[in-house]
Amino acid sequence: MFNLNRVIPFNGVGWRSVPNSLAKNRFGASEACLEEWCVSDFSANMKQFLLCWTVFFVSWVGSRLNAEDVAYSQPGLLKKEFVADASPTKSSHGSTIIESKDVLMAAWFGGEYERSPDASIFFSRNEGRGWSQPVEVANGIHEEDHARFPTWNPVLFRGKDGPLYLFYKEGPSPSEWWGLVKVSWDNGRTWGKSKKLPMGIVGPVRNKPIELEDGTILCGSSTEDEGWRINLERTKNPLGIWTKTPALNRALDVAVIQPTLLNWPEAPLQLLCRSKNGAIYQTFSDDTGFTWRRVVRTELPNPNSAIDAVLLRDGRALLVYNHSIEGRSVLNVAISKDGRKWEGALLLENSPGDEFSYPAVVQGADRLVHVTYTWKHDKIRHVIIDPGSLVTKPIVDGQWPW
């Protein structure tokens, strides 16, 4: 970028670029050369100076765009877009996504900020021609009591048979909230009234439930009123009877919430969850979720941030999470054949100082994977992945492979 000439002062008036061979003899035979002053030399040096700064600026801009360029160059990453280019609220967070009858649907909560009383549940559909304008489908307004509470963590679910359900939480904080459910009989075009879940039941706390062979809807749940503890809730009719397990952990031993479930064929049911302990934790059940083994640490880091996973049709599991101990500035995709050993697959986001969090993931009928997540708390981003085209590298000792 720079030449090897030296720039030396000329008579205290200007600057002149002088070859090294002359500069080293500046006070000798080459002095005559230095007596020469010309405006063209000064202009040339100014041009060089401006050129250098231009190159620096372009390089800086390139570094800011590099993460996005790298993301799109990764095999298997097909598309990135926003569910709503113009968000209806100042803050958007905690999304959920589902494919139902060939229609993609997403929901999230948004308001002035997280926990603000105006935080409501918003919903959008995508029939293949782009996302619809977001509409508010639930809020915490109680006119009879002249009160309004924030809403939280919507979860969309539809079983093999039956309607589309929207679970969500309402209340001043996660330690005080309660669970509700709404039903749509026309695939999300219209919704019925909200119904409060039974006392002590919050429903799927953040991630989608799974449906067992007998039609049971198994939900990963958690509570925060007596420390962070996880449990399982189950029902065959979300509008009817529910049961739940005792807490699977002691909050003083390990603080975990927001489980995601993997129903491996011919293998124990697996639960992965967020923690305050710097890693993703897991446990397994051999009896379809009635009893569970001890909650243990995995090799995957976790910066106290939500995760989600899905069991693919090819038998592998796909996990979306922040591969970091601190901060949510990276968002990653990992693949596993058994839920124990993971391989890095994609780096969806990498922007120091920004936040990318609370992913939700499903696989569509066409085998493509759809992920939504919080983008800087401003918008909800939607990503499409072809899992068959992913190029993976083993995660060894918890280190991301690139």
Q: Give one DSSP letter per residue of 90-152, joined into a string.
A: SEEEEEEEEEETTEEEEEEEEESSTT-TT-EEEEEEESSS-BPPPEEEE--EEGGGTEE--EE
Q: How many CA atoms lie within 13 A of 354 on its CB side?
A: 14
- Contact criterion met (CB below 8 Å) for 177 and 169: yes
Each residue of 174-189: pLDDT tens digit? 999 999 999 999 999 9
Each residue of 372-397: pLDDT tens digit? 999 999 999 999 999 999 999 999 99
pLDDT > 90: percent of the chain: 81
- Contact criterion met (CB below 8 Å) for 264 and 339: yes
- Give φ, ψ of 107 to 5 degrees: -140, 155
Return the ∠ at Cα 222 (arms to 221 and 225), rounded to 5°.
Answer: 150
Distance from C-alpha of 366 to C-alpha of 104, rounded to nearest angstrom: 12
Distance from C-alpha of 83 to C-alpha of 89, rounded to nearest angstrom: 13
Each residue of 100-153: pLDDT tens digit? 999 999 999 999 999 999 999 999 999 999 999 999 999 999 999 999 999 999
**How many Å is the Cα radius of gyration of the chain?**
28
- Contact criterion met (CB below 8 Å) for 6 and 24: no
How many other β-carbons are positioned within 10 Å of the β-carbon of residue 226?
Answer: 9
Cα→Cα distances 1→4, 19, 25, 46, 48, Å = 10, 16, 25, 14, 9
pLDDT at site 73: 86
Each residue of 16-73: pLDDT tens digit? 334 444 343 333 333 333 333 333 444 555 556 555 454 444 344 444 444 455 556 8
pLDDT at site 60: 44
Mean per-residue pLDDT over the chain, rounded = 88
Strand order in the sheet with 164-170: 151-158, 164-170, 178-184, 195-196
Each residue of 73-109: pLDDT tens digit? 899 999 999 999 999 999 999 999 999 999 999 999 9
Rounded to an integer, the average pLDDT of 297-313 is 98
Look up residue 93 and give its two tokens: 């967070």
Distance from C-alpha of 52 to C-alpha of 29, rounded to nearest angstrom: 32
- Give φ, ψ of 377 to 5 degrees: 65, 5
Element (H, E) at 256: strand 256-262
293 or 266: which leads in pLDDT: 293
Look up residue 31 and give its two tokens: 């002095």
pLDDT at site 26: 33
Residue 386, by phi and psi: left (phi above 0), alpha (psi -120 to 50) or beta?
Answer: beta
Tell me the helix, strand and coil percentages in the chain, rounded to 5: 10, 45, 45
Look up residue 322 and give its two tokens: 């922040």
Each residue of 226-264: pLDDT tens digit? 999 999 999 999 999 999 999 999 999 999 999 999 999
Distance from C-alpha of 371 to C-alpha of 382, rounded to nearest angstrom: 6
Model-level pTM?
Answer: 0.83
pLDDT band for position 10 (50/70/90)? very low
pLDDT at site 49: 53
**Topology of the domain comprising 74-394:** Neuraminidase (2.120.10)
Distance from C-alpha of 170 to C-alpha of 139, rounded to nearest angstrom: 8
Amino acid at 45: N
Given a cut of 80, whether residue 267 has pLDDT beyond it is: yes
Pairing of strands 6-10, 14-18: antiparallel
Rounded to an integer, the average pLDDT of 264-291 is 97
pLDDT at site 43: 53
Please state the domain extents for the chain: 6-68, 74-394
Cα→Cα distances 192→126, 167, 170, 205, Å = 20, 12, 17, 21
Rounded to an integer, the average pLDDT of 197-209 is 98
pLDDT at site 19: 43
